[in-house]
Every structure is written in C-alpha cells, then in structure tokens.
Chains A and B, each alone.
Chain A
C-alpha cells in the first residue's frame, strides 16, 4: 500500500449527502478480478450519459477537476455496499483524500486499507473547503497527515482528528496482514486452543443431511 504523508491538490466538491457506493461505482462494473482500471467507471451514473458520453456538468468532467486528488461531500459518504471497488475506483482516478462531515463505517475502513485518507470535519468546514474547491486550479488544498492539518489557499489551517493507529498505518504504508502475523500469531494460537471454543463446528463436513428449509417460530 502506498504511504500517505502530505498531499497538495485540487479538490472536487460533490455537495450531496449519502453519496453511496453504488454511485461511486455501479455494480455492473464489479465483474472484475483485479483491483485496477476502475477509475474510468468512477461515478459512472452521473459522469456519463446512456451512450457513454461525458456529462460536461459533472464536476470530475470539468477541465479544472480532471486531476483532482481530493473529494469533498456532505454527510454519510460511502453508505451502502461493502465493495472495496469504491476506494479502488477513487484511487485509480487519482483521489487520495476524501473529506466529509461523516462516513459510513465499512467505506471508512476500506479507505485506510488502500492508502486513501478519509477526514471527518464539521459541516461548516466542509462547506468552506467546497467554496475553496470552486476556484479549481487556483485554490489547491494541502493535506498534511503528520501534522493532522489542512492548509487552505488563503493560509488558514484546519486541524483534524485521526486515530493514532490508523494514522501510523497510513504514514508508513504498512501491510496489515504481515503485521498481524508478525505480532499476534502466538495470541491467535492461544485463543484457538481455549476449551470454551470446542463447541464451534467445522464447515468441512456436514453433520447430517438437509431436512428442513424455513421455520423457527410459529408463523410458518
């Protein structure tokens, strides 16, 4: 995973609430076994018309925002499906930082796993940054994860909160799986050996053949 330390970029504003993962990448583009190449389908429903032509009014199609590295929206960004194709599509387009007043849990997690920094800011600050973003190339934002600061074009600095563990993972671009195996293998083995775990059956072999389908309760 690529590190995230400091980013200076044009920001694109999408002033909508509940920007869901079906909008970020519609399901018809999930028929891939790769992580890459999804950038062209980012926001496909809004970005292209039925014939596949670009909608000139959509922010990411405007010349100033074609290289946006930051996306700003309103509340509950990334709600809906758990598809990691959403951050993959953002990343493939070139977006490394997403800013919103609030995020859906799974999407928020998925961002960190892909080197994308999700920042929660109060709505007023998001609106102020959207105003900056409206100036396109003339108003680049700088996001500094080390200092947990956003530098506005007029020099104003906005601080943001960040979980220290997640911050470290992003700053160093750490591989979660390798870290867990390295640091916790003993603890996992000890957990698996607990006598209280004995009831958990195996999925390898059915204990008996199927006899019932629905049920459990009286209203059947």
Chain B
C-alpha cells in the first residue's frame, strides 16, 4: 500500500483504487470495471467458460460489438464469408446465452469497439478497461487504465472480473507549446514513436502531458493513446479535465445528474500529484513536429513529409543496416529518396486510430471541391454507425462521394485486412490506421501511416505529399 502523502501519478491512483489483493510476490489481483468484447478474440474464451460451467460474473460491466471481421459494404445482405459469419453468429449466441449487452451489426450504435465504448459513455475516467485487442489503450484518453489482453485473460475477466497483474513503471511524455497549422494528434504520436521507438514504452504506462496535449480534443487524445501500444507501452493515459467531462456528460451509459457530478468530483482527484515520480520522462517541442508519415514496416519508421528515406550505409550496426535494406526492398523504395512524391494506389481513412467525426471533418476540409487522383482507390470507413450518421447529417458524405471516395459502413476494415477490404500484393496505401507491418493490410501490401488530413491530400495528389500545401490558411488552423 502506498503512503497517502507520497505523491502519486494518475496511473498509481487508478491502480491503487483497483487492487483487490496483493500477493506475496508483488503480483496484484486487479479489479476490472469494463470488459469490451468483439467477435475475433472472444469465442475461445466463451468456449472454455462453457466447458467449465462458469457464468459471466458481471455482464453489467461488459459490452460486446462485432467489428474486426464485419463487411463494410452493404449491410442489408447476409455476411458472405462463411467463416466471418460464423464468428459473428458465435458472438451473438454467446452474448445471448451469457446475458452480455450487445450492439447488433445492423444497429446504428455498431462500430469499432474503441470508438463505440467512448461514444456510448461505457468507457469512463478512473476505470480499469480491458478488451482482447491491443488498441484498448485508446480508452486511456479519458484518464482510465485501459489495456489489451489475450483470449486466456478475456476468459479470466469473464469468470472473475479480475486480472493478475504486475505494476508497470511510470513514463511521462510531455509535449509542450503549440503545433503548427496542419499538424494533428496523429503527427504528434508518430513523432513520439519515432523518437522513443516501438519498444520505448515496454513495461511502462505512458502519461501524455503538457500544454499541446491539454489543447487536444477527445478525438485527438484517443488517437494519441490508441498508438501507445505502437510505442510498446502497456497503456497510454491523459489526465481527465474539463474537455473530458464535457465529452462524457450526457453520454447514454455515463452517470446522469447528481451521480455525474459526484463522479466528476472523484475524477478530478485523479490527476498526477506535483512531485510524483516517473521512471522515464520524454519532452517534445510541439513547434518542431511536422506532418509525418511512415516509410517502413515498423511504426517507428517515421519521417516528416519533407524528409528522405534512410540509407542502409548510414548505419554502423550491420543488423540495423540489413533491416533497412530489407524494409526498403519490401516497401519498394530507394535509399535516400524523398518520401514526398511517392505514388499511392489506395487511401484508407478509418480504424480505431482515426475514424471519428473530427477525423472525417479534417479529411473533408482537404477534399472539399477536389477529386481523388485518377487510378487511386479511396475509401472512408467511419468508426461507428453513429459517426456515419452524424457525417451524413453534416453533409460530409457528399464531400467524400463527390471527391470519389467510397462511403462505407463501420468496422475495422482495411486496418488489418481481415475482411474483404485489403491491399493486393505490391499495392501502396496512405492509411490513417496504426500498423504498417509487413502484410498487415494484405499480403505484400505497403502501408504508409499518416493523419486523415495527409491521407486526404495523398488521395487528391495521387502521391504522398505535404497536406499543408492544400489547406487554406483558415482551414489549416482548424485541422484537428
């Protein structure tokens, strides 16, 4: 137990408030407030539960939605792929049998679990939130402790509402100052990952702080926390503040009325205390961050859009040089070439990283009155049915459609290439998703990660390019 006068971090406080019991070796049994389920990582957990004759301990702390494997084309038709259909039907049978709340595929609330949870007010500050998906870190944007787990742990939470966990170390990433016009939360996060590397956060929970983070809206904070896992961190967090409370207020599953005010009073106590200890601290100057794009097959392979692709011979370490060589070959790029001007075949705007209404607005600001370049396939996959609906109310769908984008139904889609939305071999994408691993978006596909603003610009120009050149000065100011 911590001495109450010891200054604590946001992470320490949420951790302490959820420890059921600490075992002799320092492992803690941690209580879980929210368990989110989807169709891909839950069937085996339910199967084991059933085999052991165990119930779901707290269906009232659980929420399910199908997202990874759902078609994003016409929803009025049955799911064509028999395996995908079986996974969705299995989830539907399981939630029914175990009494778990579920947003059906054809409901407007359906969408990517990490978009739906916050949107519905299911994910709240001060909570422990888990899901069988590494991008559960997204929900940390609310000042919750949220992390991905494997299927065995999904089963453990279903049966016990707890997890056996070792406390992580504390890391703080401060981004101070103002970003330049046209620079978004995605660019901030790509720059952070470029700086600390994909294993930079291993064993740590990252708290994002500093004036540039405070100024981000919830969508931006979610983008940031979402990719904490790409920096290797267990979780990412932002302390809850008025921006958080105003987002949460009035959400369907959030506390209402007096209960909300009481919750806010508690949430306000969670911010890191003055003088709390961080094992690692990294500081970035927001003004130095440029619109960014990845060039390689690891999210740490980040360049400003004005940058050039590395040369293997610039690395003394032969293993590193060999990795660069291999990556260049996979990506079909020349050592030392400018990244801007690289032709793209596909533009994907979507994923749990960047598919919220703010992201669609940012992309639409670039696309308004413009057309997708010839030969480029461009698609928007909104994060939820509600995002899609809101965008249609605002007329954003017209901007996308008029420009030549496909306007699709909500789901994970091309982020991971599980459903029919995939790159074919050798195709190159500008993608607002989170991973550029080999084959991630389809076998031998080539992925360049970037912001919605940058992806929209790539769609118009047909090449990776600096979105700032396409933004009117007043629009650049407002780009989220």
Contacts and interface: CB of A to CB of B under 8 A. Distances in A.
A82 B148 contact: yes
Nearest to B391: A213
A75 B390 CA distance: 44
A82 B217 contact: no
A106 B133 CA distance: 10
A79 interface: yes
Nearest to B122: A203
16 contacts: A22-B435, A26-B443, A31-B84, A33-B43, A50-B425, A76-B202, A81-B148, A81-B416, A82-B148, A84-B151, A104-B199, A177-B159, A199-B266, A201-B254, A204-B101, A217-B215
Interface string A128-143: 0000000000000000
A177 B86 contact: no
A22 B437 contact: yes
Contacts of B147: 106
Nearest to B417: A27
Interface string B396-439: 00000000000000000000111000100100000000010111
Interface string B42-64: 01100110001010000111110
B15 to A, nearest CB: 14
A28 B166 CA distance: 32
A68 B304 CA distance: 42
Interface stretch (A10-18, A55-63, A151-159): A10-18
B162 A180 contact: yes
B247 A215 contact: yes
B218 interface: yes
B226 interface: no
Given A28-B418, A200-B33, A207 B150 contact: no
A50 B444 CA distance: 9
Given A28-B417, A106-B149, A45 B250 contact: no
B139 interface: no
A50 B426 CA distance: 12
B173 interface: no
B217 A219 contact: yes
A196 interface: yes
Interface stretch (B21-29, B280-288, B449-457, B462-470): B21-29
B87 interface: yes
A76 B162 contact: no
Interface in B203-224: 203, 215-220
Nearest to B94: A33
A106 B217 CA distance: 29
Contacts, number: 257
Contact of B31 (A104, A188, A209): A188
B252 A220 contact: no
A82 B220 contact: no
A163 interface: yes
Nearest to B323: A17
Interface in A158-215: 163-165, 176-178, 180-181, 184, 187-188, 191-192, 196, 199-204, 206-215
Contacts of B386: 210, 213
A213 B251 CA distance: 9
B259 A199 contact: yes
Interface string B255-279: 1100100110010000000000000
B156 A45 contact: no
Given A31-B84, A212-B250, A215-B217, A207 B435 contact: no
B256 A110 contact: no
B178 interface: no
Contact of A81 (B101, B134, B439): B134
Contact of A199 (B86, B199, B263): B263
B438 A208 contact: no
A113 B150 contact: yes
Interface in B137-163: 147-153, 155-156, 159-162
A165 B150 contact: no
Contacts of B244: 216
A74 interface: yes
Contact of B439 (A45, A163, A180, A184): A45
Q: Which of A20, A34, A50, A177 has the most CB of B within 10 A?
A: A177
Contacts of B253: 201, 203, 206-207
Given A109-B149, A207-B253, 10 more contacts: A23-B439, A28-B443, A82-B41, A84-B150, A105-B232, A177-B160, A192-B161, A203-B253, A216-B217, A217-B247
A3 interface: no
B186 to A, nearest CB: 14
B196 interface: no
A30 B43 CA distance: 11
A207 B217 contact: no
Nearest to B233: A105
A57 to B, nearest CB: 13
B97 to A, nearest CB: 14
A83 interface: yes
Contacts of A16: 323
B109 A210 contact: yes
A217 B199 contact: no
A216 B132 contact: no
B336 interface: no
A217 B216 contact: yes
Contact of A204 (B59, B203, B480): B59
Given A33-B87, A80-B134, A204 B266 contact: no
B162 A184 contact: yes
Contacts of A181: 54, 159-160
B446 interface: no
Interface in B150-185: 150-153, 155-156, 159-162, 164, 166
Closest A-B pairs by Cβ, 9 of them: A216-B247, A217-B217, A113-B152, A216-B218, A206-B252, A31-B83, A33-B43, A84-B150, A82-B148
